[in-house]
Amino acid sequence: MPKTAAELANFLGAALEGPANLEVRGLASPEAAGPHDLIFVASAKHAGRAATTRAGCALIPAGVELPVKCVLRVPEPKLSFARAASWLLPPPELARGIHPTAQVSPSARLGSDVGIGPFVIIEDGVEIGKETQIAAYAFVGRGCRVGSGCRIHARVTLYAGVALGDNVSVHAGTVIGSDGFGYVYGEGRHWKFPQIGGVRVEDDVEIGANTTIDRGSLGTTRIGKGAKIDNLVQIAHNVVVGEHAIIAAQTGISGSSSVGNRVRIGGQVGIADACRIGDDAVVGAQAGVPTGKAVPPGQVVWGTPARPLAKFKEQYAWFGRLAQLAERVKAVERRFPQE
């Protein structure tokens, strides 16, 4: 069913300037947009990029003008663009019905309108909520609980007993519930510490591709509501990730560390074991947080070992001027030669 600019304006709470009945079919960049596409321009300084756009409709803030038929005035165009996307474009279908090649245990309980793709395995005692779609080769181990409206992409592996909330998306190749990395050395070898805990992923979490989330050793690994985790991330046993936290690609979080609510973690960050990252803190890309470190709420840390950004910048500036500092020491020495 076609959607109009007026409907979109209504959905977004935007002021409409232009033809109310313009049909909006897709989203695009200013360069690639066509007459039924929606674009956004975040601020006046980005308007140049859109000066020759063919887009039919644009989300722009007050004070910006663009040569488009239809303008939707909003205070935060990028946010409105993201919201418009969720409204205009249903996500691609991953599976519909239950594919005949799928192996679904008779003891599994599936909600209404669940989609199960080819070669999927659903083991004993699994529960899957309504409208969840599970793509090809996904493996859902014994006793897993998957909420409603979830999107489980191809070849995701859920070890036994993993629990996902509602509206959770997991991308291809990700493994949830693998054994944590814990051993005790004795008698000339490593003994495996029991890795018999669980994993709980709360509502509205999205997890990227080829990421790994280990089960708790004795406790539970938890990913809080609304958290977003990128590709190739490692989450170790017993880690707790707070609500709406953001964790960029290739970051690793070691055993029993906790990450607060709304924390933002850059790419390739390493957080050692037993750290506490306070709510709303920011950890810069490639930073290393040493064992047991507590980062206070709201603090921005950088570098290895991670320290407050201001401190990092100051130290780094001195580091960059070491040659000059040494030159000054030499000058002093020259003026006062040792007898």
CB of 255 to a copy of itself, least distance (A): 10
Kindly tell me which of 5 and 136 has the beta carbon lying closer to a copy of itself: 136
Kindly tell me which of 35 and 118 has the beta carbon lying closer to a copy of itself: 118
According to the binding rule CB under 8 A, does residue 6 interact with a copy of itself?
no
CA-to-CA separations, 75 to 13, 16, 40, 78, in angstroms, rounded: 10, 13, 11, 9
Q: Is 190 helix (H, G, I), strand (E, B) or coil?
A: strand
| Interface stretch with a copy of itself, choices 11-19, 45-53, 181-189, 293-301 (CB under 8 A) | 181-189
Kindly tell me which of 19 and 198 has the beta carbon lying closer to a copy of itself: 198
Q: Can 153 be counted among the known catalytic residues? A: no
Backbone angles phi, psi at 122, to 5 degrees: -120, 110
Considering only residues 247 to 266 of the shown chain, the ones binding a copy of itself according to CB under 8 A are 248-250, 252, 254, 266
- Kindly determine how many residues on this chain lie close enough to bind a copy of itself according to the rule CB under 8 A: 102
Q: Which of 244, 260, 265, 275 binds a copy of itself (CB under 8 A)?
A: 244
Kindly tell me which of 40 and 110 has the beta carbon lying closer to a copy of itself: 40
Nearest to 76 by CA among 56, 57, 62: 62
Kindly tell me which of 19 and 288 has the beta carbon lying closer to a copy of itself: 288
Query: Contact letters (x/-) for a copy of itself, 201-240, by CB under 8 A?
Result: ---x-x-xxxxx-x---xx------x-x-xxx-x-x----
Catalytic residue chosen out of the listed positions 36, 46, 99, 237: 237
Considering only residues 297 to 326 of the shown chain, the ones binding a copy of itself according to CB under 8 A are 304-305, 314-316, 318-323, 325-326
Cα separation, 265 vs 85, in Å, equals 25
Helix H or strand E segment including 246: strand 246-247
According to the binding rule CB under 8 A, does residue 331 interact with a copy of itself?
yes
Kindly tell me which of 111 and 179 has the beta carbon lying closer to a copy of itself: 179
CB of 216 to a copy of itself, least distance (A): 9
**Which ranges of 18-66 would DSSP assign to H, the alpha helix?**
none
CA-to-CA separations, 82 to 27, 86, 110, 153, 215, in angstroms, rounded: 10, 7, 31, 21, 33
Q: At what angle do helices 5-12 and 77-88 cross, to 10 degrees?
A: 120
| Interface stretch with a copy of itself, choices 23-31, 46-54, 63-71, 275-283 (CB under 8 A) | 23-31
Cα separation, 78 vs 52, in Å, equals 19
Q: Is 84 helix (H, G, I), strand (E, B) or coil?
A: helix
Residues contacting 267, CB < 8 A, separation 6+? 230, 248, 249, 250, 251, 285, 286
Considering only residues 129 to 158 of the shown chain, the ones binding a copy of itself according to CB under 8 A are 136-137, 139, 142, 153-155, 157
According to the binding rule CB under 8 A, does residue 85 interact with a copy of itself?
yes
Count H helices and E strands in the chain, helices first.
4, 40
Q: Could you list the active site residues?
A: 237
